[in-house]
Chains A and B, each alone.
Chain A
Amino acid sequence: MDLSYTPEEEEFRVRLREWLAKVLPTLPAGPSPDDWPGRRAYDLGWQRMLYDAGYADVHWDASPTTRLIFLEETEKAGAPYVGANFVGLLHAGPTLAAEGTPEQRARWLPPILRGDEVWCQGFSEPDAGSDLAALRTRARRDGDDYVVSGSKIWTSHAEVADWCELLVRTDPQAPRHRGITWLAMPMDADGITVRPLRTLAGSAEFAEVFLDEVRVPVAHRVGAENDGWRVTMVTLSFERGTAFVGEVVACRRVLGELARTARENGRWDDPVLRRRLGRLSAEFRALWRLTQWNVSEAEAGGGVPGVGGSVFKLSYSHARQELYDTAAEVLGPDCLDLDRPWVLDRLSSLSYTIAAGTSQIQRNIVAERILGLPKGR
């Protein structure tokens, strides 16, 4: 067991820190949450700066430990989040890198890295959420194209995306998992209607996407026809790996701010609140160590994050909700004021036990794949 870093890694950290200290003050102010074109431009601009400085591919090429350092340092320095680049950098990109042909990689990867193109994820459907394999969006072969009809839902960043990683059913007769295909769909194709959905936090973070006879070239298929489920599993294992590193660092900072605020407004005198903050501190310390543990395991196991991600996500999504509930206790009546810090974060935290596999589904995964309990019906 060792928590130290190699000299090369420490050097990487120092170089990154210096660069961040230099460039972050030059960034323009962030756009408002409702300004989608502004958000797109801002997020892509940041990715472009990372690219120019040689940090763009840290999510893919670097060792898991280097990635951990990158996410830790950028968060500590207060750098922008991946934002609209999330799917490109953390879902679609890694999938293309692992499963795409050389031509596909050459077409799609550089624009993601350079901050030229935004991707969204079209997996969930109205009748296929947790049960993703029930998806019904149909793709029929017509010459060199697939003709796609159906609807997707909860598609984050759909309004500003250039591409969509789309799961479609190509063989309705085959067993559910064997009739699915992974396509890269251009979001400006004819027949696509995007209808934004307002979240409980007030802004439109995701959308419904209606597809009416949309033509997607067969050349945009990644993996074999009807092999999309396997291709998808590659993506999801990335999603449950190191995706939350920066957030854990951020949560630990918020915890410190909560404690200081409580000291100032007098709530610190309440031992029940103090102890709640102390316990949260224990949990986030542990989550940071669990991240390091999972990264070390991934490194030893060849880079692909394993099921340890489900254990992490269950612990983390619970702790994050507890953090912002505790923030509400620190704020007292001000916790109902949307202009106060942490109030919007408390609302957003409610999605953590739902998005990217609900907590119930994660428990099924842990019980069946790690503990070997029998599969339910």
Chain B
Amino acid sequence: MTVRFRLTEEQRALRAGVRQLLERRFGADALRAAVARPGHLDRELWRELGAAGLFALRLPEAEGGVGLGLPETVLVFEETGRALLPGPVLASHLAAGTVPGAATGECVVARADGSLVEWLDAADTVCGDASGALPLRSVDPLTPLHRVLGAGADAPDPVAVLLTAAEQLGTATRACELAVQHARAREQFGQPIGAFQAVKHLCADLLVRAETARAAVYAAAVTADPADIAAARLLADEAAVRGARDCLQVHGGMGFTWEAEVHLHLKRAWVRAQRGGGSTQSEEALAADLVA
């Protein structure tokens, strides 16, 4: 019996386990608390995530890591993205094995990615050149940002691009779930708004974009091919940003509030879309590949 292009039992279990962990340790209350304290990183949570192996996923077991591959890592990042987990998860993951303490969560690592650095002040160390970085008033209450002026446009690390796509996929999936939940529960004109075709079709398109992106992201995790990764990133960015916006629309006035969780997904999706390997770069890379 061959394993096909679908999740194995182990992969399903991994995904469920991470989701459970995040629900337990970073549930609705923790999310609200995090929004109320912008820039604050919960060190205890960070060490717990380190102990659970979140940052050491791809480190070999001999080096104290979990020894998993890219596909599993993508599933985990999909979950952290879905849960809106704050903190430099990607930077710490990439630093595990090279920066002491990154893997265990003892050392918090930030990373200069293009012209932005996430979580610079909260970090113990920073990878890449963040000299002269200036703080900005971040649009996303869950991601403090610094701007690096004149940063060179280095070719982005393909793994960073792929894992960013995985986080965006998590957002797209969550946006679809939230939109559907609301469309079922909220009634107007004597029926659930999800019975109105205009709403129904927004939800359907949310799912179509998310599932198309999912196929691209998972395949890129299997092949690790740079063109596949660029494609995954493009589709996942779009699925997340447009998905979160459509989700907001389905929520009506509630969607425009600080209280509802919807805006946090959109803002985070915007932040990730600015990371290296964003849409212009990905589109140009794929175009070049067509004539290569």
Contact A65 B219, CB 8 Å, known A274-B283, A367-B203? no
Asked if residues B231 and A285 are in contact (CB atoms below 8 Å), the reply is yes
Bound CA–CA A367/B191 (angstroms): 16
Give every chain A residue within 8 A of B7 (Cβ-Cβ): 1
Q: Give the residue of A3, A360, A376 whose beta carbon is less than 8 angstroms from that of B219.
A: A3
Bound CA–CA A21/B231 (angstroms): 32
* A304 → chain B closest CB, angstroms: 16
Which residues of B (48-100) have their CB < 8 Å from a CB of A?
71
Number of A-B contacts (CB under 8 A): 171
**Chain B residue at smallest Cβ distance from A284:** B231
**Chain B residue at smallest Cβ distance from A9:** B2
Asked if residues B205 and A363 are in contact (CB atoms below 8 Å), the reply is yes
Q: Give the residue of B3, B195, B216, B235 whose beta carbon is less than 8 angstroms from that of A373.
A: B195
Contact A292 B219, CB 8 Å, known A277-B287, A285-B228, A315-B208? yes
Asked if residues B290 and A296 are in contact (CB atoms below 8 Å), the reply is no
Bound CA–CA A370/B208 (angstroms): 11
Which residues of A (1-25) have their CB < 8 Å from a CB of B?
1-6
Q: Give the residue of B183, B201, B214, B283 whose beta carbon is less than 8 angstroms from that of A360.
A: B201
Asked if B130 is at the interface of the complex by the 8 Å CB criterion, the answer is no
* B79 → chain A closest CB, angstroms: 16
Asked if residues B197 and A1 are in contact (CB atoms below 8 Å), the reply is no
Contact A367 B194, CB 8 Å, known A3-B5, A282-B286, A286-B212? yes
Which residues of B (151-204) have their CB < 8 Å from a CB of A?
176, 180, 183-184, 191-192, 194-197, 200-201, 203-204
* A88 → chain B closest CB, angstroms: 29
Asked if A300 is at the interface of the complex by the 8 Å CB criterion, the answer is yes
Give every chain B residue within 8 A of A256 (Cβ-Cβ): 290-291
Q: Give the residue of A268, A278, A315, A370 whose beta carbon is less than 8 angstroms from that of B286.
A: A278
**Chain B residue at smallest Cβ distance from A365:** B204
Give every chain A residue within 8 A of B235 (Cβ-Cβ): 282-283, 286
Asked if residues A286 and B231 are in contact (CB atoms below 8 Å), the reply is yes
Bound CA–CA A5/B4 (angstroms): 9
The 8 A CB mask of A350-377 against B (1 = contact, 0 = none) is 0000000000101110111011111110
The 8 A CB mask of B208-232 against A (1 = contact, 0 = none) is 1001111110110111000110111
Asked if residues B230 and A282 are in contact (CB atoms below 8 Å), the reply is yes
Give every chain B residue within 8 A of A65 (Cβ-Cβ): 4
Bound CA–CA A360/B11 (angstroms): 35
Asked if residues B208 and A1 are in contact (CB atoms below 8 Å), the reply is no
Contact A281 B5, CB 8 Å, known A290-B215, A314-B208? no
* A194 → chain B closest CB, angstroms: 36
**Chain A residue at smallest Cβ distance from B200:** A367
Asked if residues B4 and A285 are in contact (CB atoms below 8 Å), the reply is no
Bound CA–CA A282/B239 (angstroms): 13
Asked if residues A259 and B291 are in contact (CB atoms below 8 Å), the reply is yes
Asked if residues B208 and A279 are in contact (CB atoms below 8 Å), the reply is no
Instruction: Give the total of A residues in contact with B, Cβ under 8 Å.
Output: 53
The 8 A CB mask of A198-242 against B (1 = contact, 0 = none) is 000000000000000000000000000000000000000000000
Give every chain A residue within 8 A of B194 (Cβ-Cβ): 367, 373-374
Label chain B's interface by main secondary structure: helix
Asked if residues A281 and B290 are in contact (CB atoms below 8 Å), the reply is yes
Asked if residues A275 and B280 are in contact (CB atoms below 8 Å), the reply is yes
The 8 A CB mask of A290-315 against B (1 = contact, 0 = none) is 10110111011000000010010011
Asked if residues A275 and B219 are in contact (CB atoms below 8 Å), the reply is no
Q: Give the residue of B3, B280, B286 whose beta carbon is less than 8 angstroms from that of A281.
A: B286
Give every chain B residue within 8 A of A283 (Cβ-Cβ): 212, 231, 235
* B104 → chain A closest CB, angstroms: 28
Asked if residues B290 and A279 are in contact (CB atoms below 8 Å), the reply is no
Contact A1 B290, CB 8 Å, known A286-B231, A296-B4, A367-B204? no
Bound CA–CA A275/B208 (angstroms): 22
Asked if residues A363 and B291 are in contact (CB atoms below 8 Å), the reply is no
Which residues of B (113-160) have their CB < 8 Å from a CB of A?
none
**Chain A residue at smallest Cβ distance from B70:** A1
Asked if residues A2 and B222 are in contact (CB atoms below 8 Å), the reply is yes
Asked if B42 is at the interface of the complex by the 8 Å CB criterion, the answer is no
The 8 A CB mask of A323-338 against B (1 = contact, 0 = none) is 0000000000000000
Give every chain A residue within 8 A of B201 (Cβ-Cβ): 360, 363-364, 367
Q: Give the residue of A260, A289, A314, A376 whose beta carbon is less than 8 angstroms from that of B197.
A: A376
Asked if A76 is at the interface of the complex by the 8 Å CB criterion, the answer is no
Q: Give the residue of B4, B200, B280 whose beta carbon is less than 8 angstroms from that of A376.
A: B200
**Chain A residue at smallest Cβ distance from B184:** A373
* B129 → chain A closest CB, angstroms: 28
Asked if A141 is at the interface of the complex by the 8 Å CB criterion, the answer is no
Q: Give the residue of A282, A366, A367 whose beta carbon is less than 8 angstroms from that of B216.
A: A282
Give every chain A residue within 8 A of B234 (Cβ-Cβ): 278-279, 282
Give every chain A residue within 8 A of B279 (Cβ-Cβ): 275
Asked if residues A1 and B207 are in contact (CB atoms below 8 Å), the reply is no
Q: Besides A3-B223, A4-B2, A366-B207, 16 other CB < 8 A contacts?
A: A2-B4, A276-B283, A277-B290, A278-B234, A278-B285, A281-B287, A281-B290, A283-B231, A283-B235, A297-B6, A300-B4, A315-B212, A360-B197, A363-B200, A363-B205, A371-B204
Of the A-B pairs whose beta carbons lie under 8 Å apart in the complex, a sample of 11, sorted by A's number, is A2-B2, A2-B4, A271-B284, A282-B231, A282-B282, A283-B235, A285-B216, A286-B235, A293-B5, A311-B212, A364-B201
Closest 6 CB pairs of A and B: A278-B283, A296-B4, A282-B231, A278-B287, A286-B216, A259-B290
| Chain A interface residues (CB < 8 Å from chain B) | 1-6, 65, 255-256, 259-260, 263, 268, 271, 274-279, 281-283, 285-287, 289-290, 292-293, 295-297, 299-300, 308, 311, 314-315, 360, 362-364, 366-368, 370-376
